Chain A
């Protein structure tokens, strides 16, 4: 049967040479290379559960009165969008499992991407000839953040409405074009006409998934074109790549990982509640919840908005740059600007324009590692500032001093971490050099 299928494909598509190559494609082995695959498989779970959810979700903001399974909301005026999500959670069999799995998958998806970007950064995998793979990956991270934000904004519960109000304010805050841009996107002053919901919906279920899927394909195609990077080893150098072949060695491993990711996500979706929107209630402009916390991947943005002192740029009593611009627009611009600029910056500074197939261990390049750690410290300080209100509620530490603390950490932390890491790694390298009179595998080349 297999013989027949291969013959059929070869005669129709000339596929045999490609198949022959694909089966023996070499995957160098290291646990950290699995992070990207975890993101990939989370994406598949997102698509699968998402398709199920679209069968029940109504992207409609017109109002209706809720009468359904969840008694505490009985008689409450809600949007049809919100009602459809409550109903698909309580009325549709396996609906809540699918919804919670979808939500967990989104959270895990972005964790995996962030860790994957960190791995690529600290090992220098972004260097020539793989800059394009890296840029595409960072674009996918941006799209994934937007996709996640739109996903929970669609539901029209109180938390999502507050998130949208903040997004609207950030759009409004952009100098010279903000008000016009926000009116264009929302179709009118916030919360906008009911037609705003279908805009988010088509972006969430069609435009962004297609964009992410296309970039994913391109990302993988470009990796295959240049082959995987690898750490130096006995049989691994700049000219030869070695590891498990795709078939039969690597395929069952990757399949195992795919199923493991699905297992974790489904178990979380079934056993660990996430985003119980019936507790938040429907969104109304006059309502707010205390201790409002978005999904984790927006924590750095809410932190940026909370950390920033109340500074507006004004000209003659008129606002030029409203405050949300700093934390909501400039901060992510700087973060992604850094990620996009880094390969070029590093090449300019080091003058290293060579072709790299071997990865650095983080200690091999103390300067890059120190810069990366400093950058991560900066973003983390802002991220943690975003949870100061939860810390206040849980531990009673007053809010304002916490904010001042994180402001200080965001300013001083990166500098301190930079010098500490560079110094520590310098010592590690010296010890290593002293310990081995013969050069280690990394320097054999």
Chain B
């Protein structure tokens, strides 16, 4: 026990040995400032607290199935950092010398070296006789090689085949299914409700797949020219691509009138940027940033089940240059 104490005393006392007097007294660089025992005490205390908090983090981490473990871990680690921050802040004010030093800013420019750089470049080029020709040749080689190195980027995707954007799984006869895989039936479609449908036997995970299906009051139905209500809205049931023509989000909101005399007309609304489409007029834009209507899908009724009567009235999903507007 005794030797342990003396070892500890030796270890702790190591730093307190007076520095050996320098052979020649050199001018100081860092000014001498009086010690601040109180400041040091605070730093010590804060360091001890940081140690305790960090230890608590290890303990909390080690104990399994602790309720609110995340909160306790955050609290312990956060406090450890906070105590360390406080210790360093107190040290910066009271424990280390605080001084103001001043020095000149670096030279704004170096004309002599600059001229030498130019001189080196010029003198190095003097050996060339057909400088322009060499420049053109080097430039040509460099640019061609650069293009060659960039060309494989085309492997990343079908960049030259934007027709892929027009493909959808919907064609004549494809049955409309709900998300749990049951056929959508005409008689089940109620007014003021909103149905999502998917093509039978096809992936749900492409922009062309999902539809919104709603029933519109026959008196309000006013489809664009050329869309025969028999074919596009049997019994007032209309189907549109569920993907907003503005920015590709799902048109996931339906504004159904709660009180007919005062409510706004029924509308399909996208929650991303609030493009609002009118289901009664072929998906025309009522409000918001969308630039073209929702593409409509013609419908057929087959023994009560809804089937696609053909492809969409326009390209689905977000617009790109060259897409048809209507």
Contact = CB atoms under 8 A, between A and B. Distances in A.
- Of A93, A268, A323, the most chain B CB neighbours within 10 A belong to A323
Given A176-B321, A185-B156, A249 B91 contact: no
B196 interface: yes
A244 B101 contact: yes
Contacts of B88: 252-253, 255-256, 259
Interface string B98-129: 11111111101000000000000000000000
B292 interface: yes
- Of B164, B207, B318, the most chain A CB neighbours within 10 A belong to B318
Contacts of A243: 100-101
Given A245-B99, A256-B92, A305 B273 contact: yes
A281 to B, nearest CB: 12
Interface string A296-311: 0000001001101111
Contacts of A169: 246-248, 317-318
B292 A319 contact: yes
B167 to A, nearest CB: 8
Interface string A259-294: 110111011111100000000000011111111100
Contacts of B154: 184
Given A190-B207, A240-B105, A287 B252 contact: yes
A179 B321 CA distance: 7
B223 interface: no
A186 B157 contact: yes
A241 interface: yes
Contact of B103 (A241, A257, A320): A241
Interface in B188-247: 196, 198, 204-207, 209-210, 242-243, 246-247
Contact of A285 (B78, B204, B290): B204
B247 A165 contact: yes
A191 B205 CA distance: 7
A183 B204 contact: no
Contact of B248 (A129, A165, A174, A389): A165
Interface in A223-270: 225-227, 235, 238-245, 248-253, 255-260, 262-264, 266-270
Contacts of B301: none
A243 B108 CA distance: 20
A288 B249 contact: yes
Contacts of A355: 108
B249 A166 contact: yes
A318 B183 CA distance: 36
Contacts of B161: 183
A173 B318 contact: yes
A310 B294 CA distance: 14
A323 B248 contact: no
A318 B325 contact: yes
Contacts of B318: 165, 168-169, 172-173, 322, 324
Nearest to B74: A270
A242 to B, nearest CB: 4
A149 to B, nearest CB: 14
Contacts, number: 303
A426 interface: no
A235 B103 CA distance: 10
Interface string B45-80: 000000000000000010000000111111101111
Contacts of A24: 29, 101, 103
Given A179-B320, A270-B73, A319-B292, A189 B249 contact: no
B323 A318 contact: yes
A267 B53 CA distance: 13
- Of B105, B270, B292, the most chain A CB neighbours within 10 A belong to B105
Contacts of A239: 104-105
Contacts of B61: 93-94
Given A94-B61, A166-B248, A266-B74, A178 B105 contact: no
Contacts of B248: 165-166, 168-169, 190
B291 interface: yes
B275 A285 contact: no
Contact of A318 (B77, B253, B322): B322
Contacts of A97: 70, 73-74, 77
- Of B74, B79, B161, the most chain A CB neighbours within 10 A belong to B74
B85 interface: yes
A357 interface: yes
B19 to A, nearest CB: 12
B179 interface: yes
A344 interface: no
Contact of A249 (B96, B102, B247, B274): B96
B273 A183 contact: no
A267 B291 contact: no
Interface in A97-120: 97, 100-101
B70 A188 contact: no
Given A169-B318, A290-B252, A319-B321, A310 B207 contact: no
A319 B325 contact: yes
Contact of A310 (B104, B205, B290): B290
Chain A to chain B: the 9 pairs with minimum beta-carbon distance, closest first: A270-B74, A288-B252, A312-B291, A267-B78, A169-B318, A322-B319, A286-B210, A242-B102, A259-B85
Interface of B: 29-30, 61, 69-75, 77-82, 84-89, 91-92, 95-106, 108, 153-154, 156-162, 164-165, 167, 179, 196, 198, 204-207, 209-210, 242-243, 246-253, 270-275, 285, 287-292, 317-326
25 contacts: A97-B70, A162-B250, A165-B318, A166-B247, A168-B318, A172-B319, A179-B162, A180-B160, A180-B162, A185-B157, A189-B206, A199-B156, A226-B106, A240-B105, A244-B101, A249-B92, A263-B79, A267-B78, A267-B79, A270-B77, A285-B205, A311-B291, A319-B320, A322-B319, A324-B247
Given A270-B70, A317-B326, 5 more contacts: A93-B69, A266-B81, A286-B204, A289-B252, A323-B246
